[in-house]
Amino acid sequence: MRVSKVLKAVCGFSREVVIVSAELIEDDRPILRVRVRAKQRRRGRCGRCGTLASWFDNGDGERSWRHIDAGHATVEITATARRVDCSQCGPTVAQVPWARHNSAFTRSFEDLVVHDAIVGNKQAAADRYGTSWRAVNNMCIRVAQEALERVDLLDGLTAIAIDEVKVQEGPQVPDRRV
Ligand SMILES: [Zn+2]
């Protein structure tokens, strides 16, 4: 079996993600660095609004995202954060299948940490995954915003709250701890 096939299954990536290479960095706690790229498309999607747009440039180049651990290893995903020229937002980092916009963590890592924040609390989740309370708070905001965009507002649901994070339609209620 090819290594890339194993890595893809271990990382839980969809067919939209192509594994470019991987390296293991030996440390107290090993780091598995997996370099990926999104499947090549003629146009990309704006990371902010999701509109199809033509490619602009390679942005600031290489970026990395913390992913769910693989056994004893910390997993780090790296890729070139290409930009598109969106007609609404201007040059913006393109959407990637593995992470939400403007985050240093992958989508599945955020989902896992937010789940822990819900069943426990944000500080416990931050301690468990070695991140900060603020990072967990921002993950909760991104997940709640995404959830709110998906629901049918005609059903009368206008706000979603996770722990002290509240996301609602219209003016936002400031979180007193931010
Ligand atoms: Zn846009």
Using one digit for the tens of pLDDT, what is the confidence trace for 126-176?
Answer: 999 999 999 999 999 999 988 888 776 666 777 777 777 888 776 554 554
Identify whether residues 85 and 17 lie together within a single domain.
yes
| Cα distance between residue 17 and residue 2, in whole Å | 16
- Domain with 150, as residue range(s), is 105-178
Identify whether residues 52 and 83 lie together within a single domain.
yes
User: What count of residues does the chain have?
Assistant: 178
Distance 45 CA to ligand 1 centre (A): 8
Identify whether residues 15 and 80 lie together within a single domain.
yes
Distance of CA 171 to the CA centre of its chain: 25
Identify whether residues 176 and 143 lie together within a single domain.
yes
**Other beta carbons less than 10 A from residue 92's beta carbon:** 23
Distance 88 CA to ligand 1 centre (A): 5
Q: What is the pTM of this model?
A: 0.84
Degrees (nearest 5) of the Cα angle 161, 165, 168?
55
Would 81 be classed as within a structural domain? yes
Q: What is the pLDDT, as a whole number, of residue 154?
A: 60
Identify whether residues 70 and 147 lie together within a single domain.
no
Would 5 be classed as within a structural domain? no
Would 138 be classed as within a structural domain? yes
Place of tokens 């990536």: 13
E strand or H helix at 8: helix 3-11
Identify whether residues 33 and 75 lie together within a single domain.
yes
Q: What is the pLDDT, as a whole number, of residue 148?
A: 83
Sheet-wide strand order for 44-45: 44-45, 52-57, 83-86, 90-93
Q: Report whether 103 contacts 131 (CB < 8 A).
A: no
Distance 144 CA to ligand 1 centre (A): 20
Distance 34 CA to ligand 1 centre (A): 28
Which DSSP state fits 111?
H
Distance 54 CA to ligand 1 centre (A): 11
Would 1 be classed as within a structural domain? no
Distance 49 CA to ligand 1 centre (A): 4
pLDDT digits (tens, 9 = 90+) for 68-113: 999 999 999 999 999 999 999 999 999 999 999 999 999 999 999 9
Distance 172 CA to ligand 1 centre (A): 21
Distance 13 CA to ligand 1 centre (A): 25
Would 2 be classed as within a structural domain? no
Distance 46 CA to ligand 1 centre (A): 5
Total domain count, the chain = 2
Place of tokens 């107290």: 28
Nearest to 177 by CA among 142, 132, 144, 125: 132
